[in-house]
Structure 1
Amino acid sequence: MDRRIIPLIMCGGAGTRLWPASREVHPKQFLPLFGARSTFQDTLIRVSDAALFERPVIITNNAYRFMVLEQLAEIGLEADVLLEPMRRDSGPAIAAGAAFAQTRDKDAIILALAADHVVRDTAAFVAACREGLTAAQAGHIVTFGVQPERPATEYGYISPGDVISGQVRAVAKFVEKPDAETAAGYVKSGYLWNSGNFMFRAAVLLDEYRKVDTASVQAVSDAVAMAGSDLGFVKLDTDTFAAAKSISIDYAVMEKTSRTAVVPVSCGWSDVGSWHAVWELSDKDGQGNAARGAAVFEDSRNCNVTTDRALVALEGVDDLVVVATQDAVLVSRQKDANGLKRLVATLKNVAPQVTEDHIKVHRPWGSYQSVDNGERHQVKRIIVKPGGRLSLQKHHHRSEHWIVVRGTARVTVNELVKTVHENESIYIPIGAVHRLENPGKIQLELIEVQTGSYFGEDDIIRIEDDYSRS
């Protein structure tokens, strides 16, 4: 009987190719771009058949750890979650996942998947996994080569070689992203898109990696061996992991090893690397317009609108992307992904905040959103999940006034513990030790009015915290 596969889901990246929806603190893998679920959640569901797949391993970073848990809970799945102390690209991330998987099973077979890809035909994808499993067991590092739907210039390509078994072929060569003319030649010659997803025996991947960079593999292995546990997360050791060289798995292993193989697959795959790709994957009206949120089109064609709240109306335009969030609006040409890359690079210099943070900030206990601010005041809308509670804290520069608009709050102010119901309020003076929690069964929603001289997050003095932030 074939062994089951351990999915390794990589979701620590912070790509800004879908700015302003995707930002450093809430990147695209956690966004519901094509329905109610995020691509991270869809990726997990795709590999949830217990007949073929084992409990997944997720590798992410400290900033996303509670988003990972929250989105796992929403789809009713569990996983082992590894936390990278810092980003080191896909090479060390996959090596860490492989080393950890060996602590569960020394002969582990791993399927390494990016969390931000779309697969529209799950059955075809799972069939490709079954097809590649035998080759992986035999010691090949199997990649998935997508049958091209067009001569794309945004993907690397794979030239398939001799047959290994069934549909599995050897890899003759990997090639970088081509220009349009070269891409057309690749498609005509039977090349495949390189999806950047892999299946392998953990031991084989680490051995091949070790041949070209022994020190980095040792550093990652030590980081796993010395890992700590915190709130159920596996925290890779900082000092040892930092010694690993930052490099992609393609450059570290795939372009150097002689063990590569490729499974051709046609499964409606996309890496969703641009707003144009989102448009391609979205439902459209008769004029080719796609909309997520409130949008009206008049005499407009092949446009793509995403809006959080405001109505977007387009008249007399073609091939535009309009993305409206509560603090930023993007208007761009459909197919110029490099233009957006240049724009975000400029924004990082002139307005870095809009590339990093959303107005709505996610926290392990819920979220908060800025409503209004001035020189001596700030207003926030705070949501606390059932059972959630903020840290026990105080401030040196601001007082707070909380008005409950939904649910029930339990509030600690110094020695006082008080239950505050809907349409009631409570005042927290400057310097008072305080805590907010939701003891109820529904979300707690309140409006917070801060007054004072300074409102920075570094004026939160945490005394006690459920999430190890004190």
Structure 2
Amino acid sequence: MIVPVILSGGAGTRLWPVSREGCPKPFLKLPDGQSLLQKTYQRAAQISPRGDILTVTNRDYYFQSRDEFHAAQLPDHRGHFLLEPSGRNTAPAIAVAALAVRALHGDDAIMLVMAADHLILDLPAFVEATRQAARAAAEGYLTTFGVRPSAPETGFGYIECGESLGLDDTVRVRRFVEKPDLETARGYLASGQYLWNSGMFCFSAGALLKEMERHAPEILCQARACLDASPGVENGQWLMQELDAESFTALPDISIDYALMERSDQVAVVPASFDWSDIGSWSAMRELVEPDEQQNRVSGEAILVDTRNTYVHSEGRMVATVGIEDLIVVDTEDAVLVVHPDRVQDVKKVVQQLKCADHQAYKLHRTVSRPWGSYTVLEEGPNFKIKRLVVRPGGSLSLQMHHHRSEHWVVVRGMARVVNGERDIYVNVNESTYIPAGHRHRLENPGLLELVMIEVQSGEYLGEDDIVRFDDQYGRVK
């Protein structure tokens, strides 16, 4: 049995303004319309035609992750989610996942650990590499995937290969190497003995836990206490375990490479021949689009005049360029990025400055996903904010109250059921209702079509944290 384990987290700061803390890189849509996470789910289904697909992600991304699982169309699989209260790096995540897999499927279950934000297009080669890794895992090895380098890349870690294990092309790992400088990377490439460290792994649950007992016993002990304090909730195709916050945050923030792989003598590597990209910058995104005769690449709608070697990514607006070359232009609803291709790694500095200034553009888009649908901020100013709400059929906002703002709701499509204080009413198209500050209220879509509403907020404070929840069908009431 192979159980795919998908690690889905991180802010993807180098892909700002599309990737943000509230909607990180795994949810980024590629030119074909699919997200990286959706493609990862489909890749996992190729390896394991039936059974569990385990996702370790932040509690805030649970419903978005379920949407991507649903979009991947996997009726024969169960989505098993381990929800972290905060990020603690890969060692705690993998330790808790291994304990969960062993509890459900036993020590011999093979875990295929994948990152949610990698892109692999050659699926047959990926399946073959996984088959080789699973053979080594069944022999007790902690197996990783090494990608044959095509260039002296300084943005990746490397793996130095050792002697053959006599299992297909699998060899022992001699050592892991940090991201090198350019001269060192050229030497690695010329030697033929080094592979890029892909960050993917394959091992049995029992072997992984045995090696953690030897080399990282404190992490394993705390992970076991955390899982024991985190009961599961099963609902049809979904199994959800919200990890206990107190015990999980006591785990160290450390990667599986540092905590275990660099210490164990049972580590092997499969030299993989499949294509692989961690989509770590806008240069990588640019390579997913075919160039025109002037080496320009466009995702979205753009007009290019006297423009060369430029990439334009536009979400919903026309972008025009005149007389430029060697640039990357990214346009979203509320932010524009213009960067030279040689400086794409420095985009994260923009996010750092936004955080320091407490500007919401580091965290949220104008359109924000919610379990019940989404909202888009249309306009805001002193003491007012206007939103467009889209509520899915059967979706319902929590029963809530605001201390500092009142709200006026106008239905523009569909029909709404509204709890407003002591009243329980239906509001149709072109009808409205007013909710004073301090009133308990709830919005629900009882129909079969999307409910679209315009919400006008007014008050001295309009922050999203001015919500007191009393009841919620998505479990957001503490």
TM-score bucket (shorter structure):
over 0.9
TM-score by length of 2: 0.94
Give 1:343's match in structure 2, choosing from 338, 350, 357: 350
Instruction: Tell me the residue number matched to 2:45.
Output: 48
Give the Å deviation of 1:184: 1.8
Give the Å deviation of 1:208: 1.7
Once residues 257 and 346 of structure 2 are traced to their aligned partners in structure 1, the CA distance between those partners, rounded to angstroms, is 26
Give the Å deviation of 1:276: 0.5
The amino acid of 1:76's aligned partner reads Q
Instruction: Tell me the residue number matched to 2:248.
Output: 241
1:88 pairs with 2:85: no
Indicate the percent of aligned positions where both proteins have the same amino acid: 45
Contact 1:7 1:53 in 2 (8 A): no
Please give the residue correspondences for 1:76-115 in structure 2 after superposition, counting only pairs within 5 Å: 76-77=73-74, 78-106=78-106, 107-115=108-116
Give the Å deviation of 1:51: 5.6
1:192 pairs with 2:199: no
Contact 1:101 1:108 in 2 (8 A): yes
Contact 1:228 1:235 in 2 (8 A): yes
1:211 pairs with 2:214: yes
Q: Which runs of 5+ in 1 are unaligned?
A: none
Contact 2:411 2:427 in 1 (8 A): yes
1:135-188: CA deviation from partner (whole Å, max 9, x where unpaired): 110011111111122221111111222111111111122211122222122112
Please give the residue correspondences for 1:1-400 in structure 2 after superposition, counting only pairs within 5 Å: 4-49=1-46, 54-77=51-74, 78-106=78-106, 107-164=108-165, 165-190=167-192, 191-229=194-232, 232-400=239-407
Residues 224 and 183 of structure 1, relative CA distance in 2, 3 Å threshold:
same
Once residues 91 and 279 of structure 2 are traced to their aligned partners in structure 1, the CA distance between those partners, rounded to angstroms, is 21
Once residues 240 and 145 of structure 1 are traced to their aligned partners in structure 2, the CA distance between those partners, rounded to angstroms, is 34
Once residues 53 and 279 of structure 1 are traced to their aligned partners in structure 2, the CA distance between those partners, rounded to angstroms, is 35
The amino acid of 1:60's aligned partner reads T
- 3-state SS of the aligned residue for 2:117? coil
Contact 2:47 2:127 in 1 (8 A): no
Instruction: Tell me the residue number matched to 1:461.
Output: 468
The amino acid of 1:396's aligned partner reads H
Instruction: Tell me the residue number matched to 1:410.
Output: 417
- 3-state SS of the aligned residue for 1:269? coil
The amino acid of 1:8's aligned partner reads V
The amino acid of 1:184's aligned partner reads R
Q: Which runs of 5+ in 2 are unaligned?
A: none
Give the Å deviation of 1:239: 2.3
Residues 350 and 416 of structure 1, relative CA distance in 2, 3 Å threshold:
closer
The amino acid of 1:434's aligned partner reads H
- 3-state SS of the aligned residue for 2:13? coil
Residues 126 and 247 of structure 1, relative CA distance in 2, 3 Å threshold:
same
1:4-42: CA deviation from partner (whole Å, max 9, x where unpaired): 210000002222110111111100101112322111110
CA RMSD of aligned residues (A): 1.7
- 3-state SS of the aligned residue for 1:281? coil
Once residues 18 and 463 of structure 1 are traced to their aligned partners in structure 2, the CA distance between those partners, rounded to angstroms, is 37
Give the Å deviation of 1:53: 6.2
Once residues 208 and 118 of structure 1 are traced to their aligned partners in structure 2, the CA distance between those partners, rounded to angstroms, is 29
Contact 1:217 1:244 in 2 (8 A): no
Once residues 465 and 252 of structure 2 are traced to their aligned partners in structure 1, the CA distance between those partners, rounded to angstroms, is 32
Contact 2:230 2:242 in 1 (8 A): yes
Residues 298 and 21 of structure 1, relative CA distance in 2, 3 Å threshold:
same
Give the Å deviation of 1:245: 1.3
Once residues 251 and 385 of structure 2 are traced to their aligned partners in structure 1, the CA distance between those partners, rounded to angstroms, is 43
Which 10-residue stretch deviates more, 42-51 or 63-72? Answer: 42-51
Return structure 1 stretches of 4+ with deviation > 3 angstroms: 49-54, 229-232
Contact 2:281 2:345 in 1 (8 A): no
Once residues 441 and 285 of structure 1 are traced to their aligned partners in structure 2, the CA distance between those partners, rounded to angstroms, is 44
The amino acid of 1:20's aligned partner reads P
Give the Å deviation of 1:351: 4.5
TM-score by length of 1: 0.95
1:271-305: CA deviation from partner (whole Å, max 9, x where unpaired): 01100111122232222222222112222222222
Instruction: Tell me the residue number matched to 1:419.
Output: 426
Which 10-residue stretch deviates more, 341-350 or 97-106? Answer: 341-350
Contact 2:14 2:346 in 1 (8 A): no
Once residues 364 and 205 of structure 2 are traced to their aligned partners in structure 1, the CA distance between those partners, rounded to angstroms, is 36
Once residues 203 and 416 of structure 1 are traced to their aligned partners in structure 2, the CA distance between those partners, rounded to angstroms, is 57
Residues 252 and 369 of structure 1, relative CA distance in 2, 3 Å threshold:
same
Residues 347 and 429 of structure 1, relative CA distance in 2, 3 Å threshold:
closer
Once residues 203 and 359 of structure 2 are traced to their aligned partners in structure 1, the CA distance between those partners, rounded to angstroms, is 39
Give the Å deviation of 1:458: 3.0
Once residues 298 and 358 of structure 1 are traced to their aligned partners in structure 2, the CA distance between those partners, rounded to angstroms, is 30
Once residues 41 and 47 of structure 1 are traced to their aligned partners in structure 2, the CA distance between those partners, rounded to angstroms, is 10
Once residues 228 and 405 of structure 2 are traced to their aligned partners in structure 1, the CA distance between those partners, rounded to angstroms, is 44
Once residues 348 and 457 of structure 2 are traced to their aligned partners in structure 1, the CA distance between those partners, rounded to angstroms, is 37
1:394-421: CA deviation from partner (whole Å, max 9, x where unpaired): 2233222111112221112223222222
Residues 432 and 344 of structure 1, relative CA distance in 2, 3 Å threshold:
closer
- 3-state SS of the aligned residue for 1:335? helix
- 3-state SS of the aligned residue for 2:254? coil
Give the Å deviation of 1:50: 6.7
- 3-state SS of the aligned residue for 1:118? coil
- 3-state SS of the aligned residue for 2:458? strand
1:76-108: CA deviation from partner (whole Å, max 9, x where unpaired): 333100011221101111111111100112222
Give the Å deviation of 1:453: 2.3
Once residues 23 and 398 of structure 2 are traced to their aligned partners in structure 1, the CA distance between those partners, rounded to angstroms, is 22
Once residues 470 and 247 of structure 2 are traced to their aligned partners in structure 1, the CA distance between those partners, rounded to angstroms, is 30
The amino acid of 1:15's aligned partner reads G
Residues 254 and 45 of structure 1, relative CA distance in 2, 3 Å threshold:
same
Equivalenced residue count is: 467
